[in-house]
Amino acid sequence: MKFETINNLRIPKIGFGTWRIGGEGSADPSLDDKSLQALRSALELGYTHFDTAEYYAQGHAEELLAKAIPASGIPRESLFITSKVWPDHLRYDGVLKACEGSLRRLKMDYLDLYLIHWPNKLIKLEDTFKALNQLVREGKVKNVGVSNFNLKDLKKSKELCETSLLTNQVPYSLPENKYVKNGVVDYCKENDILVTAYTPVKFRNLKVNEIIKSIAHVYGATSFQIALAWLTNQPRVITIPMSFDAQHQKENLAAADIELTLEETITLNSLYNR
């Protein structure tokens, strides 16, 4: 596994996203067994970065993660846990309350990373960061970041954050280049801010694209692994794929070890009219 070292942190290039664990926009208890099995297999395979949010299954994803971790025997300090505050809760008191809720559901004393899930134009960032900075000072949050932020809001967040803003989590993949075009990806790389790529392999023609398939054949890999390797080969980029399937989890984790050549990278960069 490759890591990204930043701000004295060593963060895996491949983490585990928990969207759809325990449900989607609401809790679905019928998915509990399947979800717990997915989390347990991820922990057994060696995933140490888990990304969740208060919105995921209305907090149930956090609750299931709290069940899976103790059974793994992995010490809390060996894990990197990210959660997010929903945009409705970005006022000062709302952030503090949301964080307490996440910590309670996760049964943890602190979060390694706490993100603003989406910006809310009706609430001043100054108010939100007043709370986030307080959470850091209190030790309840180790690092602060944002998600789905454009360049203007990202720059403002960097100014307001009393510690180094750790990441902007955005949709980023071979075909998804909105945050390249709007300048966010380059700004992050130039300012020591991680790009956390979500939905990294969710595109329609991934498995049938002949160029990706030909590169995958060279490495004895899948097309999904090449799409992930394209991300993990980039400096200051990490990603958080999710799968319920243990074999896919294993393949995702192994993708970070694939070292693409410069020629292969240029070829992949030319796909999808990037």
pLDDT in tens, 180-224: 999 999 999 999 999 999 999 988 889 899 999 999 999 999 999
pLDDT tens for 120-158 read 999 999 999 999 999 999 999 999 999 999 999 999 999
Cβ pair 141, 120 in contact under 8 A: no
Alpha helices in the chain (DSSP H): 32-45, 60-72, 92-106, 125-137, 151-160, 178-181, 184-190, 210-219, 223-232, 246-254, 262-269
pLDDT at 274: 58
Residue 103, domain CATH: 3.20.20.100
Q: What pLDDT is recorded for position 266?
A: 96
> Which residue segment(s) compose the domain that 39 sits in?
3-198
For 112, which DSSP code?
S
Tens digit of pLDDT for each residue in 16-29?
Answer: 999 999 999 999 99
| 239 vs 237: CA distance, rounded Å | 7
Catalytic residue among 56, 172, 179, 198: 56
Which residue stretches of 86-124 are H helix? Answer: 92-106
> Is 111 domain-assigned?
yes
Number of domains forming the structure of the chain = 1
Based on the residue annotation, tell me whether 198 is a catalytic residue of this protein: no
Mean pLDDT for 65-88 is 98
Distance CA 104, CA 246 (A): 28
Least confident of 35-44, 50-59, 184-193, 199-208: 199-208
Assigned domain for 85 exists: yes
Are 194 and 166 in contact by the 8 Å Cβ rule? The answer is: yes
Tell whether 176 is covered by a domain.
Answer: yes
* Share above pLDDT 90 across residues of the chain, in percent, rounded to a whole number: 97
Q: Is residue 112 part of a domain?
A: yes
Percent of the chain clearing pLDDT 70 (strictly above)? 99
> In this structure, what DSSP letter does residue 58 have?
G
CA atoms within 13 A on the CB side of 203: 21
Coil, strand or helix at 237: strand
